[in-house]
Structures are given as C-alpha cells and as structure tokens.
Structure 1
Amino acid sequence: MITARADVVGSLLRPGWLLEAQERRRAGSISEAVFKQVEDRAVDEAIALQEAAGLEVVTDGEMRRLSFQSQLVQAVEGFGTWDLDAFLWGKWHGDNDIGDWQQERPHELAVTAPLRRRRSLSAEEFVYLRARTPRTPKVTLPSPGLFANFWSPEHSSGAYASLREFLEDVARILREEVEELAGYGASYIQLDAPHYPLLLDPETRAFYEARGWSTAQWLDFGVALDNVVMQDIDGVTFGLHLCRGNQGSRWLVSGGYEPIAKPIFQRTAAHRLLLEYDDERSGGFEPLAAVPDDKVVVLGLVSSKRGALEDLDELLARVEEASHHIDRERLAISPQCGFGTSIVGNRLTIDEQAAKLRLVCDVAARLSG
C-alpha cells in the first residue's frame, strides 16, 4: 500500500503555451504530431515541478485533459453533444474579488447510445508518466456516479432504460480501465467524487433526487458503483477524493462531512480518503472518527484556490487537532483539490503553486519526523 505522508490530488495549472496549442489544434493549424510534442513538454514540466517540491507521489498534472473527468467522454462512444460546459455547470461561489458565476446545464447533454470504449481513458497518461519519474505515479479517474447528469429521461431512454442501468455501464467501463492500468503497473489510482459533497447543498441535492433516488439511496448506490471499480485489484492502492467544487478559484457548496461520512467512509473500498479541509466551508474534523482503522486520511489543508501561502505552524496545529479524532499515524497532507481541475485553472501562478507543493512536503516531513 502507498504510505506517502505528502500527496497531490491530481491537476496542475496548464501553462499558457499549452492552452494556445490546444486552440491551434482545434482550429486545425497544427498537426497532431506537433501537438503531442507540446503536451509531452507540459507533462515533463509538471513532473519536474512535483519532484523539485519533494513529493513522493506525482501525477502528469492532467495536462492531456480538458477537465478532470473529460477523458471518459473523449474515449467512449455513446455520449451526445458536449463541450467544456458539460463539466462546469452549476452555481459557483467566489470571494468578493472573484464574485459568483452561474453556468446552466446544457439542455442537450445526454447519453444517446450504448457506451462503447474506443480506447483507454488514461493508459497513455500513465505509461508516459511511469517512464519519466522514479516516484510513485498516480492516475486519477472519475467516480461513476459523477456522470448521472449525462442521463436524460427524454433523450437517453433509447440507449438505457434507467439511470441505474447507465451508471452500471459507466462503472463497467471504469473497471475495465482499472484492470488495464493495473496490468501496466499502476499502483496508485484515485477516484474523484465531488458529487457526494454536492448532496450537502439543498439545490444540488434536489437535482439528484429529481433523478428518482433519495440522498441515502444515492450514497448507497454511488459507493457500490465505486467499489465495483476498485475491489479485488491486487497491488493497487485506491484513493477517493471528496471536494465541494473547484473551478476558477470558486466552489459549489459548503458544509461539513457529517451527513455523508458514515455511508462513504465505512463502506468505500478505497484505502486513502483525500478530504477537502482548507477552510471553514468543510466543517470540523469530528467526522474523521467514523474512518475505519484500515484507512488513511489525506487532509487537504493547503488551498489550491488562493496564492497566499499558509503558515507551516498553523498547518501542523490543524493536523494535531485532527489527530484528536483519528490516529496521527493515519494522517497525511495534500492540497485541498487540484490547481487546474479544467483548463479554466485557479487564480494563482505556477510559482505560487510550486510553493504550495513544497509546503505540503515540509508539513509531511514534520509529521514523519
């Protein structure tokens, strides 16, 4: 099992020259071969940044993705019309200098045909990453339940008679992906599951319950789908990341983990729980008492939304506070989420991002020492 005390959630800020190349590729002004060289350079720099910070676990920064969850719809046939807005819809909240941001759910968003996996979702990412770092390479995948918003009773029933049938097929595809990644030597795979904390908000909870299930049923079925993806894969440590939305330094919901802690923490097959705890929106550490003894909690204490650097001693004090509810030896630290969960990115610089990662490693060193 992975024992790293310093962890990273997944995405890093995309450099401007990569975003420019993506635009040129969409416009057809550069070839696929040239674009791949640009992507490779972005991944190389992401790896170097993480290694220089001292991280034991590194990702490819999700440089090859439009969004943290977009590789599924890019690699699988059956999804209808979609674009970046498919992953950005919702009522986003920001600090005073950022302001709120409302993005409507695209009306045409729907699965329209039975899903067929045309290619691997993340094999290219993992194989390239594995060959370029001696550290533990980590690959991230979306939780199956995250795609509930792609099923529409008006447009999807010809392909899938029910939402349950559709999500079970999503879980099947993700399980195939995990088995393929394990065959390539992946030892650390993370499922990203922001849809669970979204159930804390009455407005977003109403959207999910309008799909036909109560909150309790959503939690039970969602965790069962996650476990289909994760269970009985020898040699792989699984992480489960829970956050409250992260785009453009904004968030979707607030609220402590209490209402969702026991159904998720006690039933998930994940070995590491990566939990958002960078400010008061995430509530207190009391729900950590529900974490079983065989799981590690990775405290997301360092904000990926702000450039201002946290104080090391204050972070250590927060770890100490968390240890009142869970054994200190089962605590690790990370940023609260990715720095660029989509190409939108958060409002900080690459240098500030690097300083945040170094701080994570400094706190982890104190914990280990």
Structure 2
Amino acid sequence: MKNSSDRIQTSHAGSLPRPDDLIEANAKREAGTVDEAAFQKKLTESVADVVRRQVAAGITVPGDGEYGKSMGHKINYRAWWSYSFSRLANLKVKGLGLYDMPAHRSSPGNTVLSSFADRRDRQRFATAYNDPESGVSTGPRAHDWPFCVGPLSYIGHKQIAADIANFKAALAASGASEGFMTSIGPASCARIGNEHYKSDDEFVFACADAMREEYKAIIEAGLVLQIDDPAIAENFDQINPEPTAEDYRKFTMPKIEALNHALRGLPQDRIRFHLCWGSWHGPHTTDIPMREIVEPMLKINAGAYSFEAGNVRHEHEWAVWKDAKLPDDKLILPGVVSHATNVVEHPELVAERIGRFTKLVGCERVIASTDCGLGGRVHRDIAWAKLETLAQGAAIASKQLF
C-alpha cells in the first residue's frame, strides 16, 4: 500500500453515489428485465467514470465506488452487504426481513445478538426512527433476507472477475497507480439467518472460508483488499441488555479469529480493514467507545485500519491513539470527512483533523479518508464536494507537514 512519505495520501471507505441510469439498470436487472450485455457495458462505463472523477477530485487511492454491488435505490444502506447473497451457495430467501427476526435477550456469560428492530439506539429514539420526516433512518426495510440452509461455498467467481476487470481497466485509463476494492468480512456476512450450522461460531468460520475466495481474487489481481466488517463494532448496539465491554470483547474475538483465518497467508501490506458503527443516520448514543474496541481491531491481520473519526459522535476519539500502540509497519485511515451530515467540511478543518493523527502516529502512517461510504448516504453532489474538500485539506496538511 502507498504511504504518506512525501504528502498525505487520500482515499475513502468504498461506496460512492451511483448515476441514475446505473441505479435504473440495477433495478431492472434485479427484476429480470434488462439486457445483460447492455447492462455490463453500462457498468464498465460507469466504473471508468467514477475512477476518473476520483482522480480528478484529488483522491490518490481510488476505489471502484462499489459499483459492482447492486444498488437499485438512491438511498441504500446495505449494498456493501447484500451483494454477497448472490455469491454464496445454499442461501434461501424466506420472505422475512431484518426487522422481522425474533428478538433474543442476553444474560451474564451468554452474549447473543438480538434483532435489528431491538437495537438499543432504535428503542431509545423510537419516535424519531418511526417518523419519516425526522431525517433519522436506517434506510428502506428489506423483506428478502436469506437464510443459510446448507453448506456455504463461494460461487461468485464470475462476478468478482468482472468487477476486477472493470476496475483495473478504469485504473489504467485514469493513470492511478493503486486502487482498492471492498469485500464483506465474515462477522457481517454471518448476520443472516442460519438453519444449517450448529453454532454462531461455526457459521462465521464457514463464511470466512467461503469469502476467502473473493479476498484472494482481489489481492491476486494486484489490488488492495479492504475488508468491510462493521459487525466488529456495530454488534454492540444489537445486544440487549447492553453488555459490559469485557463481555463484548469476548463475544467479538471469535469473529476476529474467523477473519484472520480467512486472511491466513495473504500479504498484510495489501489488506486494509474498515471499522464503523453503522452508516445509518441516527443518534448513535449506544455505540461502543473506540477505546474499548481498538485493541481487538489491532489484532486483525491487516496492514491498515480505516475508522470513523469525523462525525460528532466519534471525532473526539482521535485521542485514543495517545495510548493505543499502532505497530510500526501499519497505517491508519481516519475519517476526516463524514457521511453523517450534509454539511461539507472546510478544508482547514480537514487539515486540522489530519494533523491530530500525524502528531500521534507520524505523517507517513496516515492516509486521509472518509468515515464510511458516501454512496446512498448523502446526495451525489454533496458526496463529490466532500471528496474534493478531503483532497484540499490533505494538500493543506501536506504543506504544513512536509
């Protein structure tokens, strides 16, 4: 991976806004009413354009915008996850959604996930979440959630090959020397219904073995692999009653072990990990503090760690790195612009945020990034303005630091 040896490098968390015609094409494809050859041509052209625009905006480590992950609506919080449903064998849709699942209660020594509807953030602010005009949202409710009904295996080889081919062609055309591609982590992959495996831990390891095929394909193509696994931090809000930090870390470590199992033998310097507390627009008063999860995160066998640091719930946590020991050979990608507000950050504020981290871990080990994916979270015009101000702030910081 690039580091910031002579200037602050810039990247983002993955998802970028899709053009209207691609969203429309995705919707038709999901309905089975699109010409596949025409769709693939549109997708290839769209990936080329989104990479070109990133480079023009000043992003030095671009992604493919996650355009190969179908998004049939402008507002979409799940494409980073639901894309995997078509790439895994033995999943069956049963007409239930995330919010239809039964609620489960934890007890001392028995920490379990509850339903999405039983999230503590949703319970505390139920009126706001149920008010369509409040601006508080987890996105449209889906009722096509799958269940695992047999042994998992990866069947997405053709799809990931197409994603890689589109992205590599776009990188070559734009002149970018490095690019990253996202893939779902095992713990998040396993947050679907399970009717086959005997335990949650067995299921998450099965997800790890299956998704490893995609991880290998991305790395073997010469790209940087980004693992998206918000379940590592976000699960905390989905446990009732609220667990202690110690109990939550015990609950989370098998999921980290499963991810490391999936990454075994793969080069750490080609892998980055994205941690977040969920990208929905809500109060987030029930997030686990960064200080309680940073050490488990650092046990993940990645060469860089991406995390939220620009929104008002987590910005103060830059101070965690006063005490947390970042290994000498690893990088961080703090979010210095946020998906959680329509306000476009000022470049000088972006530079100030970058400076907080460089003072603690060194200039060369900081890549300026976004809190989370911008696609489906903010209007496309705002998203692109945020990437531009990210690059402008990095340029200001670079003049100050180098």
What is the TM-score with the length of structure 1 in the denominator?
0.84
Letter in 2 for 1:301: V
**Superposition deviation, residue 74 in structure 1:** 0.9
CA contact (8 A) 1:285 1:325 kept: no
Give the alignment's Cα RMSD to 1 decimal: 3.1
Question: Aligned to 2:85, which of 29, 49, 73?
Answer: 73
Distance in 2 separating the partners of 1:30 and 1:24: 5
For residues 306-345 of structure 1, the aligned pairs below 5 Å read 306-340=341-375, 345=376
Distance in 2 separating the partners of 1:322 and 1:22: 39
SS at structure 1 position matched to 2:153: strand
Query: Which residue in 2 is equivalent to 1:110?
Result: 147
Q: Which runs of 5+ in 1 are unaligned?
A: none
Structure 2 vs 1, CA of residues 3 and 33 (structure 1 numbering), >3 Å: closer, same or farther?
A: same
Higher strand share: 1
**Superposition deviation, residue 207 in structure 1:** 8.7
CA contact (8 A) 2:160 2:217 kept: no
Distance in 1 separating the partners of 2:95 and 2:65: 21
Distance in 1 separating the partners of 2:35 and 2:142: 32
Query: Which residue in 2 is equivalent to 1:269?
Result: 301
For residues 29-178 of structure 1, the aligned pairs below 5 Å read 29-66=33-70, 67-81=79-93, 86=98, 89=116, 97-100=134-137, 109-120=146-157, 122-133=160-171, 134-135=175-176, 136-152=178-194, 156=195, 159-178=196-215
SS at structure 1 position matched to 2:341: coil
Structure 2 vs 1, CA of residues 83 and 73 (structure 1 numbering), >3 Å: closer, same or farther?
A: farther
Letter in 1 for 2:189: F
Q: How many residues align?
A: 351
Question: Aligned to 2:30, which of 13, 26, 47?
Answer: 26
CA contact (8 A) 2:304 2:333 kept: yes
Question: Aligned to 1:299, which of 312, 334, 337?
Answer: 334
**Superposition deviation, residue 171 in structure 1:** 0.7
Identity over aligned pairs, percent? 23
Distance in 1 separating the partners of 2:147 and 2:11: 35
**Superposition deviation, residue 81 in structure 1:** 0.5
For residues 234-245 of structure 1, the aligned pairs below 5 Å read 234=267, 236-245=269-278
CA contact (8 A) 2:335 2:369 kept: yes
CA contact (8 A) 1:241 1:273 kept: yes
Structure showing greater relative contact order (alpha-carbon pairs closer than 8 Å, 6 or more residues apart)? 2
Structure 2 vs 1, CA of residues 216 and 44 (structure 1 numbering), >3 Å: closer, same or farther?
A: same
Letter in 1 for 2:229: A
Distance in 1 separating the partners of 2:305 and 2:398: 19
Q: Structure 1 residues 256-265 or 39-48, which shifts more?
A: 39-48
Distance in 2 separating the partners of 1:214 and 1:329: 35
Structure 2 vs 1, CA of residues 97 and 190 (structure 1 numbering), >3 Å: closer, same or farther?
A: same
Deviation track 1:271-296 (CA, whole Å, cap 9, x = no partner) reads 11111012231142222231223221
Distance in 1 separating the partners of 2:95 and 2:87: 14
CA contact (8 A) 1:278 1:300 kept: yes
CA contact (8 A) 2:232 2:252 kept: yes
SS at structure 1 position matched to 2:367: strand
CA contact (8 A) 1:71 1:122 kept: no
Letter in 2 for 1:272: A
Structure 2 vs 1, CA of residues 317 and 183 (structure 1 numbering), >3 Å: closer, same or farther?
A: closer
CA contact (8 A) 2:154 2:211 kept: no
Q: Runs (4+) of structure 1 moved beyond 4 Å?
A: 82-97, 100-109, 249-253
Distance in 2 separating the partners of 1:113 and 1:131: 37
Letter in 1 for 2:61: V
Q: Which runs of 5+ in 2 are unaligned?
A: 71-78, 100-114
Q: Structure 1 residues 67-76 or 116-125, which shifts more?
A: 116-125
Distance in 1 separating the partners of 2:139 and 2:21: 28
